[in-house]
Amino acid sequence: MADGQADIGVIGMGTMGANLALNIAEKGFKVAVQNRTPAKAFALKDDNPELADNILPAETLEDFVKSLNTPRRVIFMVPAGQPVDDEMDKIRPLLEDGDVMIDAGNADFNDTVRRAKTVEGTGLKFIGMGVSGGELGARHGPSIMVGGDKDTYPLVEPVLTKIAARFHDAPCVAWLGTDGAGHFVKTIHNGIEYADMQMIAEIYGVMRDGLKLEPAKMAAIFRDWNSRELSSYLIEITAVNLDETDPQTGKPMVEVIIDEAGQKGTGRWAVIEAQKLGVGATTLEAAVAARGLSSRREEREHAAGLYAGVEAGQSQFFADEAGFSELESALVTAKIIAYAQGYAAMAAASDENGWDLPLGTIAEIWRAGCIIRSHFLDDIAKAYDKGQKVVNILQAPDFVGRVAKGQSALRRVVAKAALAGIPVPALSAALAYFDDYRRARGTANLTQAQRDLFGAHTFRRFDADGAVHHKWPAV
Ligand code: NAP
């Protein structure tokens, strides 16, 4: 096949695909575009005359493939799951040795591992790539997490480096490991995003129900926090959300929005994978569970009637500067613990899959472009950059001091919330995990004794090697 003009192609002109294609075109690359409904590919060119020279829409998959130079680089930006397999199956017969298929959707990393296997030995190459930052990220610079064969990465690196977000001058893209590494890291990113958002929502709940603050006042507090340790995209947008007025009613926008949160599944995957790895990502679990319970609104409304008056009756919180800084400190501390859990899951997956995930680099490429971007991630990057092995973020010297200092604020906020009947499941999970993690002698000895009594599962003793069974009294 003769070489076409396009440097890279994008299949799928939905929100993400169209914006990614515009980003690629803007950076000076020629991008071929194709879509199940072809009109959308042509509309992209027509609607963006300033970039039209770099956008090459195709009516058919055959035309699309012909328009690409070799080795062909084809990005799929279609819904995760069967559509990706379908698109891969359709295009494979049209491709040649050395061509690269790139799944840039939110794939389950297990699917990515399977798809990588299907191209092994065929001459074709496959990359599974997590893209974070939503619509705006795709258009102006996402954070990009790449998985696949290391020697395939240079084929896409020049384009990805140009379109990725930049933290100062560093592009937020990296090759992270073979097959499913990129999509696994994106899944954990989303799990951490769930936890981060849930903990912010819990602090909002304390402000609303404990401190009886108006949204505009909360917005001012979040804006203030955004100038310090908590400085991040999520805190910034929270202030914007809280400051907004509904044009229809004149009420604060957050008060007209129904309290049912949606989810598309990546947070749940993060929790399931962490559980499979034996890592308790309890703050992520609390966040996923909270979204689930939020959607059972009618049931909650009925339960509220059954248990009215359970609250301590008076606010345990004080709306003064000391109270706000306690909340700030609690949120910082819980956030460190949530990230420690996400990082522990990535470390375990890295061992399990032989990925050798560069955990410091992951923090670096999350510093800009993605939803959880923050200065705090720069601190994590630095913790991994010290040349010593970080067993867990909670043992990294830079974080030990911060958690030791902040844990009493987290403890007080969780305790006061419990007494006031205000749910803070992710903050509580963070505190419980921290207390369990820092306890040298736990309580699993009793669990082992029970297991041995009812199931002869054996246990190990402090004073001898090997597993033993004890003859317990009959019950
Ligand atoms: P979207 O707006 O719903 O667009 C989906 C695109 O895929 C459309 O162009 C659609 O074509 C096409 N498509 C749908 N079903 C198809 C099928 N069975 N076969 C072939 N093409 C099909 O989706 P999106 O938000 O851009 O998301 C794309 C991927 O990026 C997903 O994996 C998503 O999880 C991931 N992602 C999304 C975001 C986000 O913020 N939206 C962020 C990160 C990652 P038609 O025009 O013909 O319907």
- pLDDT more than 70, % of the chain: 98
| Residue nearest to ligand 1 atom 5, measured at CA | 14
Q: Under 8 Å CB-to-CB from 319, ≥6 apart: which residues?
A: 211, 212, 213
The dihedral built from the CA positions of residue 354, 360, 365 and 367, taken in this order, carries a sign that is positive
Q: What residues does 244 pair with on adjacent strands? A: none
Cα diameter, the chain: 83
CB 365 within 8 A of CB 174: yes
Neighbours of 135 (CB within 10 A): 14
Which 8-state DSSP code applies to residue 307? T
Joined together, the tokens standing for residue 290 give: 């909270």
pLDDT tens-digit readout, 314-339? 567 777 878 899 999 999 999 999 99
| Residue nearest to ligand 1 atom 32, measured at CA | 105
Could you tell me how many residues make up the chain? Answer: 475
d(CA 246, CA 252): 6
pLDDT confidence of residue 311 = 66
Q: Quote the pTM value.
A: 0.95
| Ligand 1 site, CB within 6 A | 12-17, 35-37, 40, 77-80, 83, 86-87, 105-106, 131-132, 134-135
Query: Cα(128) to centroid of ligand 1, in Å?
Result: 16
Return the closest-CA partner of residue 431 out of 343, 329, 356, 358. 329
pLDDT confidence of residue 394 = 97
In order of 192, 215, 391, the CA distances from 345 in angstroms are 11, 35, 12
pLDDT tens-digit readout, 238-278? 999 999 999 999 999 999 999 999 888 899 999 999 999 99
Return the closest-CA partner of residue 156 out of 170, 142, 144. 144
Query: Cα(229) to centroid of ligand 1, in Å?
Result: 35
Average pLDDT value for residue range 200-208: 97
Q: Is 186 a catalytic residue?
A: yes
Query: Cα(180) to centroid of ligand 1, in Å?
Result: 20
Check 87, 193, 202, 364 and give the catalytic one: 193
pLDDT confidence of residue 312 = 52
Strands 459-460 and 73-76: what pairing? Answer: unpaired
CB 338 within 8 A of CB 141: no
CB 98 within 8 A of CB 123: yes
- The chain-wide mean pLDDT, for the chain, equals 95
Query: Cα(83) to centroid of ligand 1, in Å?
Result: 9
| Residue nearest to ligand 1 atom 41, measured at CA | 134
Mutational pocket test of ligand 1: of 10, 11, 13, 15, the residue with most ligand atoms within 8 Å of the beta carbon: 15
pLDDT confidence of residue 321 = 79
pLDDT confidence of residue 313 = 52
Query: Cα(56) to centroid of ligand 1, in Å?
Result: 20
Joined together, the tokens standing for residue 358 give: 């560069």
pLDDT band, residue 389 (cuts 50/70/90): confident
CB 431 within 8 A of CB 331: no
pLDDT tens-digit readout, 448-475? 999 999 999 999 999 999 999 999 999 9
d(CA 285, CA 274): 10
Average pLDDT value for residue range 39-67: 98
Check 125, 186, 335, 416 and give the catalytic one: 186
Q: Which residue has the tokens 């994008």?
A: 10
d(CA 221, CA 181): 38
Which residues are documented as binding site for NADP(+)? Answer: 12-17, 35-37, 78-80, 106
Average pLDDT value for residue range 25-39: 97
CB 55 within 8 A of CB 31: yes
d(CA 38, CA 13): 9
| Residue nearest to ligand 1 atom 34, measured at CA | 106
Q: Is 193 a catalytic residue?
A: yes
Joined together, the tokens standing for residue 102 give: 């790139």
